[in-house]
Amino acid sequence: MKQHRKRTSRVRNRDWETQHEQSFSHDLKKHLRTNTPIVHVAAAQSSDKVPDDFEPNGLVVSHSKKWAFVWWNDKEHLCRISDALIERDSTILAAGDEVLVEQIEDGEPTVRAVKPRRTKLSRHAIEDSRVSEQVIAANVDLLLIIVAAAKPAFKPGLVDRYLICAEAGGVEPILCINKMDLVEGAPGDVDIYRALGVPVILTSCSDGRGVEELRTRLLGKIAVLAGQSGVGKSSLLNVLDPGLDLATREVSTSNEKGKHTTTSSRLYRLDGDITLIDTPGVRQLGIWKVTFQELAFYFPEIAEHAAGCRFRDCTHSSEPGCAVRAGVESGDIPERRFLSYLRIRSS
Ligand code: GDP
Ligand code: ZN
């Protein structure tokens, strides 16, 4: 595993300071049940219990079932995960979790406790024919949605799904349209997203346009990267921090400790206080815990019109007096946003 250059932890400390008004919990069951974006995560439950108001000193980079790489003392360290943070053979930690690492004399550094999460991005997983929530990243400020203007072709439906995922996780979305050097002018959909208040940044790794704007947006934040393979995620990371050698990100799978990074989330600390989490989980993002009623809420222009529907439980598919369909007909609601809404609803 490559160790990144020594970097300042100033930004992380500032984030920890914003959490003090939140309550803490040692109740693991409650943590796993919770529906809110603020998650109460268990600390060690042994006799030498960690106090609730502990000051975290580490940031989870990646993890396997029982081991985690943690950004601790300005470097990545391989740490054992305390048994109290393991349930059903797997850790409850996620990349981005703020943790307490302790090292007793020459022993292995151990992750003892984890702070409640400010936000989380989840997907659903099917384990033993039960659906369970899998937190793919914690304490995320931004969802950086990366699409290509061409090669692969721009897919608005996918952007809508990512926007829902950001909304559901309480994370601010940013849309980055890369490979702008391959096209004349931006895709027409850009105006739709800008009208929704989503910042849109047009970039090219080939001619460097938009990269400084992207850097400014990401400064001091934790962002999760979302995007299909081939859109230029690795290229953008390398342009943002040329010192980052992504070719070395895969660790050996030949020993127990290294068995993890290829299929799980991974956090990168980039030069200049940018923290990005790359996660294969985002590529298969399902829609977690979004009910039919809530779905309209994630399409604000649809929700706004829905207030005028004749029936309060209108599904905007075939009911008479539907103000949403009227809005689509009059052009107030972009048709492809409405089609996206219907498609996601039927999934
Ligand atoms: P990832 O799978 O999302 O990480 O995508 P990569 O970063 O591996 O990029 C996929 C391919 O697109 C590579 O051949 C890159 O050289 C190319 N690429 C990435 N960004 C740009 C860009 O802005 N313009 C052009 N023309 N090609 C790009
Ligand atoms: Zn309606």
Per residue in 92-118, pLDDT (tens digit) is: 899 999 999 999 888 889 999 999 988
pLDDT score of 4 more than 50:
no
**Cα 314 to averaged position of ligand 1 atoms, centre (Å):** 43
Ligand 1 atom 15, closest CA: 232
Query: What's the distance, CA 200 to chain centroid?
Result: 18
Average pLDDT over residues 259-277: 74
Average pLDDT over residues 316-329: 94
Ligand (nearest to CA of 148) = 1
Mutate to test the pocket of ligand 1, among 145, 235, 236, 283 (most ligand atoms within 8 A of CB): 235
Residue 262: the pLDDT is 38
pTM: 0.71
CB 170 within 8 A of CB 293: no
pLDDT score of 281 more than 90:
no
The H or E element spanning position 202 is: strand 200-202
pLDDT score of 6 more than 50:
no
Which residues line ion ligand 2, judged by CB < 5 Å?
309, 314, 316, 322, 324
Rounded to whole angstroms, the Cα distance separating 256 from 254 reads 7
Ligand (nearest to CA of 203) = 1
Work out the pLDDT band at 343, boundaries 50, 70, 90.
confident
Give percent of the chain above pLDDT 90.
Answer: 34
pLDDT, greater one: 138 or 7: 138
Rounded to whole angstroms, the Cα distance separating 70 from 81 reads 10
Rounded to whole angstroms, the Cα distance separating 78 from 271 reads 22
**Cα 205 to averaged position of ligand 1 atoms, centre (Å):** 7
Residue 24: the pLDDT is 26
**Cα 342 to averaged position of ligand 2 atoms, centre (Å):** 12
Work out the pLDDT band at 160, boundaries 50, 70, 90.
confident
CB 279 within 8 A of CB 229: no
pLDDT score of 258 more than 50:
no
Residue 31: the pLDDT is 32
**Cα 327 to averaged position of ligand 2 atoms, centre (Å):** 10
Tell me the pLDDT of the chain averaged across its residues: 76
DSSP state of 21: T
Ligand 1 atom 19, closest CA: 232
CB 146 within 8 A of CB 123: no
Work out the pLDDT band at 15, boundaries 50, 70, 90.
very low
Residue 209: the pLDDT is 97
Residue 181: the pLDDT is 97
Give φ, ψ of 237 to 5 degrees. -60, -45
Atom of ligand 1 nearest to the CA of 228: 3
Orientation angle between helical segments 156-168 and 335-346, nearest 10 degrees: 60
Mutate to test the pocket of ligand 1, among 205, 214, 241 (most ligand atoms within 8 A of CB): 205
**Residues comprising the chain, all counted:** 347
Ligand (nearest to CA of 296) = 2
DSSP state of 49: P
Ligand (nearest to CA of 276) = 1
Residues with CB under 6 A from ligand 1: 178-179, 181-182, 204-206, 227, 229-235
Ligand 1 atom 26, closest CA: 179
Ligand 1 atom 10, closest CA: 230
CB 218 within 8 A of CB 274: yes
Residue 155: the pLDDT is 80
For 59-85, how does the pLDDT look when each residue is reduced to its tens digit (9 = 90+)? 999 988 889 999 998 888 999 999 888
Instruction: Report angle CA 342, 223, 86 to the nearest 5 degrees.
Output: 95
For 204-254, how does the pLDDT look when each residue is reduced to its tens digit (9 = 90+)? 999 999 999 999 999 999 999 988 878 888 889 989 988 876 543 333 333
For tokens 């007096």, what's the residue?
321
Average pLDDT over residues 265-273: 86
